[in-house]
């Protein structure tokens, strides 16, 4: 007779922003909780932020995941304890009121109002500090603000999940999940199970049986729990559910913020080693598209210049005068499906003519902004598009993007298992419980019904906090 598998009251699969918040709350509620993570448990300082080592250690597939379609899209996912919070910049926006209104009206999400969400945002913010830069902003960032001011466009400094108090490096410390919610989960008695990929979950009697595979050795073991929260991210949550025979409205409506980048060159130095990360965003054109600054270390510049290979040597000469900027929209839709014999699911993206035209308009507006900010040259990071030398050259950019060469990227993925009471659209109810399945909830960006328009991490954390509290108050029924 085979031994009973290790068991828990609650299993949370995935330790990113949604899973970490959920696991902490369940453990603090007195439950025996397992937090299961496919990736490694690594300290924040195991690799320099945005370094090659970090790509290898903490990103899925070293940061290269491709959504296939006529317009291909590279997307990025974290794969370590803390998930995407460990690799992103932690820019923090509460969910806009208009987005919450849309979710209530179109998806039937109940009890989702700005006033109702406020205590959940505040609870998360009290643990993961949200702060503005304490001093002058980096030159890369202030240039964006300068251009917006010149054009009369609205621009804002965005706070970050970052503690700017003194630290060993004299800068501060990112407030990732491994620094905030995961330690509190462990302090409350929770068990962290790292390097364990969950292949399947299935209901046996009144419990869930979880089949997990060691990410390094491949060894398989069984785990058991009364209640399961799936928080593997907007791609891998629907993949796991579909492998487990749960497919209604699962993986059909993946959404994203497609992003296009450019490299701007200025007369004077803006790329100063050691400066803090850029924090400004231009929100003038929301919800259609927004603009911001990217990290612009020398290796990142080289990667961004791949579409302009004839100018690669320019980086050696001018990199201190260069910075990367982006425009991102809310367009496009994708699906998630498993392929037998493959570890990762197939993501197929669809971007129509209106989607590509909107991104093209955003790209033109971004270049207009950067010339207003003092750029003397702009390298577009899209094959086939020209190098721009003056504001007049912006007219050379196309009215729409070639679907075969647009090559957008994204770090923001959501909406693959939307929540709500609309039976024609939603995989889970208004509080994340999977429709028609006992004691199974989703606790990540999959639930967010549509693009958040802003960086989504705050939305993920607050919605997870709201939903976990609801399940706890109902006695995990």
pLDDT digits (tens, 9 = 90+) for 303-339: 999 999 999 999 999 999 999 999 999 999 999 999 9
Tell me the per-residue pLDDT of 183-239, one tens digit each, with 9 for 90 and over. 999 999 999 999 999 999 999 999 999 999 999 999 999 999 999 999 999 999 999
Over 60: is that where the pLDDT of 256 sits? yes
Over 90: is that where the pLDDT of 3 sits? no
CA angle 85, 87, 88 (to 5 degrees): 70
- Contact between 454 and 96 under an 8 Å Cβ cutoff? The reply is yes
Over 80: is that where the pLDDT of 466 sits? yes
- The distance from CA 142 to its chain's CA centroid, rounded to whole angstroms, is 24
User: What is the rounded end-to-end Cα distance, in angstroms, of the chain?
Assistant: 31
Mean pLDDT across 90-104: 97
Mean pLDDT across 64-80: 95
203 and 323 both lie in a single domain: no
Which of residues 366, 385, 409 is at a domain's end? 409
- The distance from CA 459 to its chain's CA centroid, rounded to whole angstroms, is 11
Tell me the per-residue pLDDT of 375-386, one tens digit each, with 9 for 90 and over. 999 999 999 999
91 and 34 both lie in a single domain: yes
Confidence (pLDDT) at 448: 98
Is 412 considered catalytic here?
yes
399 and 421 both lie in a single domain: no
Tell me the per-residue pLDDT of 420-430, one tens digit each, with 9 for 90 and over. 999 999 999 99
Over 90: is that where the pLDDT of 136 sits? no
Q: Which of 7, 446, 353 lies closest to 210, judged by CA?
A: 7
Across 37-41, 164-168, 323-327, least confident range: 164-168
213 and 334 both lie in a single domain: no
Residue 245: band (very low, low, confident or very high) from pLDDT cuts 50, 70, 90: very high
- Contact between 235 and 195 under an 8 Å Cβ cutoff? The reply is no
Over 50: is that where the pLDDT of 291 sits? yes
Domain membership of residue 169 (yes or no) is: no
CATH code for position 460:
3.50.50.60
322 and 207 both lie in a single domain: no
HSE on the CB side for 311, CA within 13 Å? 21
398 and 420 both lie in a single domain: no
- pTM, rounded to two decimals: 0.95
Over 90: is that where the pLDDT of 6 sits? no
Rg (CA), the chain: 22
Confidence (pLDDT) at 1: 38
Domain membership of residue 73 (yes or no) is: no
What stretch of H or E contains 191? strand 191-193
Q: Do strands 322-329 and 289-293 pair parallel, antiparallel, or not at all (unpaired)?
A: antiparallel
27 and 87 both lie in a single domain: yes
Q: Which of 93, 280, 412, 431 is catalytic?
A: 412
Over 80: is that where the pLDDT of 171 sits? no
HSE on the CB side for 340, CA within 13 Å? 0
Distances from the Cα of 152 to the Cαs of 282, 284, 377, in angstroms?
A: 11, 9, 22
Q: Which of 330, 311, 477, 476 lies closest to 379, judged by CA?
A: 311
Residue 134: band (very low, low, confident or very high) from pLDDT cuts 50, 70, 90: confident
203 and 325 both lie in a single domain: no
What stretch of H or E contains 333? strand 333-337
Domain membership of residue 364 (yes or no) is: yes
Distance CA 44, CA 171 (A): 14
Domain membership of residue 51 (yes or no) is: no
Compute how many other C-beta atoms are within 10 angstroms of the C-beta atom of residue 1: 3
Confidence (pLDDT) at 34: 98
Distances from the Cα of 216 to the Cαs of 59, 76, 196, 456, in angstroms?
A: 15, 21, 8, 31
Domain membership of residue 70 (yes or no) is: no
Confidence (pLDDT) at 166: 66
For residue 211, the SS3 value is: strand
Over 80: is that where the pLDDT of 242 sits? yes
Domain membership of residue 310 (yes or no) is: yes
The DSSP code for 345 is: P
155 and 19 both lie in a single domain: no
Average pLDDT over all residues of the chain: 95
Residue 2: band (very low, low, confident or very high) from pLDDT cuts 50, 70, 90: very low
Residue 274: band (very low, low, confident or very high) from pLDDT cuts 50, 70, 90: confident
Phi-psi region of 185 (alpha: psi -120 to 50; beta: other; left: phi over 0): alpha
227 and 268 both lie in a single domain: no
Q: Which residues contact 418 (CB under 8 A, 6 or more apart)?
A: 107, 249, 253, 425, 426, 427, 428, 446, 447, 448, 449, 450
Q: Which residues contact 116 (CB under 8 A, 6 or more apart)?
A: 466
Over 90: is that where the pLDDT of 167 sits? no
Domain membership of residue 440 (yes or no) is: yes
Mean pLDDT across 345-366: 97
Domain membership of residue 331 (yes or no) is: yes
Which of residues 386, 409, 432 is at a domain's end? 409
Mean pLDDT across 340-356: 96
392 and 354 both lie in a single domain: yes
Distances from the Cα of 385 to the Cαs of 322, 352, 364, 376, 406, in angstroms?
A: 19, 20, 12, 17, 10
Q: Do strands 255-256 and 413-414 pair parallel, antiparallel, or not at all (unpaired)?
A: antiparallel
Which of residues 379, 409, 439 is at a domain's end? 409
% of the chain exceeding 90 in pLDDT = 91
Distance CA 62, CA 325 (A): 22
Q: Which two tokens mark 471? A: 């399940």
Compute how many other C-beta atoms are within 10 angstroms of the C-beta atom of residue 372: 17
210 and 308 both lie in a single domain: no
Mean pLDDT across 160-183: 85
Can you give the residue range of the structural domain that contains 329?
A: 139-159+258-409
Residue 170: band (very low, low, confident or very high) from pLDDT cuts 50, 70, 90: low
Domain count, the chain: 2
């Amino acid at each position: 007779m085979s031994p009973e598998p290790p068991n828990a009251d609650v299993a949370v699969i995935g330790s990113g922003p949604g899973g970490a918040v959920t696991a902490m709350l369940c453990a603090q509620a007195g439950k025996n909780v397992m937090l299961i993570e496919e990736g490694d448990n690594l300290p924040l300082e195991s690799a320099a932020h945005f370094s090659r080592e970090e790509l290898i250690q903490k990103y899925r597939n070293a940061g290269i995941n491709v959504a296939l379609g006529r317009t291909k899209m590279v997307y990025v996912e974290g794969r370590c304890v803390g998930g995407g919070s460990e690799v992103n910049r932690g820019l923090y926006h509460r969910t806009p009121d208009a987005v919450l209104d849309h979710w209530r009206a179109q998806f039937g999400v109940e009890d989702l109002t700005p006033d109702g969400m406020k205590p959940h945002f505040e609870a998360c913010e009290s643990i993961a500090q949200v702060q503005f830069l304490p001093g002058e902003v980096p030159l890369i960032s202030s240039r964006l603000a300068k251009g917006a001011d010149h054009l009369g466009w609205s621009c804002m400094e965005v706070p970050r999940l970052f503690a700017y108090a003194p630290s060993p490096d004299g800068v501060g410390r990112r407030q990732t999940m491994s620094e905030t919610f995961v330690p509190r989960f462990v302090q409350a008695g929770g068990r962290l199970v790292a390097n364990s990929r969950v292949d399947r979950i299935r209901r046996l009697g009144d419990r869930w049986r979880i089949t997990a595979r060691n990410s390094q050795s491949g060894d398989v073991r069984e785990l058991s729990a009364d209640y399961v929260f799936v928080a593997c991210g907007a791609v891998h949550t629907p993949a796991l559910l579909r492998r487990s025979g749960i497919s209604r409205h699962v993986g059909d409506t993946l959404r994203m913020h497609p992003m296009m980048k450019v490299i701007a060159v200025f007369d004077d130095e803006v790329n100063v080693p050691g400066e803090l990360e850029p924090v400004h965003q231009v929100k003038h054109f929301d919800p259609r598209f927004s603009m911001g600054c990217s990290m612009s270390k020398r290796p990142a510049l080289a990667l961004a210049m791949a579409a302009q290979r004839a100018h690669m040597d320019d980086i050696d000469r001018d990199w201190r005068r260069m910075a990367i900027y982006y425009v991102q929209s809310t367009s496009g839709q994708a699906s998630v499906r498993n392929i037998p014999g493959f570890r990762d699911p197939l993501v197929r993206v669809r971007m129509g003519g209106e989607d590509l035209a909107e991104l093209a308009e955003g790209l033109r507006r971004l270049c207009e902004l950067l010339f207003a900010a003092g750029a003397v040259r702009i390298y577009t990071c899209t094959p086939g598009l020209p190098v721009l030398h003056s504001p007049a050259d912006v007219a050379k950019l196309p009215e729409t993007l070639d679907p075969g060469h647009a090559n957008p990227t994204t770090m923001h993925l959501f909406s693959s298992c939307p929540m709500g009471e609309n039976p024609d659209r939603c995989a889970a109810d208004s509080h994340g419980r999977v429709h028609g399945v006992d004691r199974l909830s989703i606790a990540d960006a999959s639930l967010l019904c549509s693009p958040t328009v802003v960086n989504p991490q705050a939305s993920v954390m607050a919605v997870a906090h709201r939903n976990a509290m609801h399940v706890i108050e109902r006695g995990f029924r």
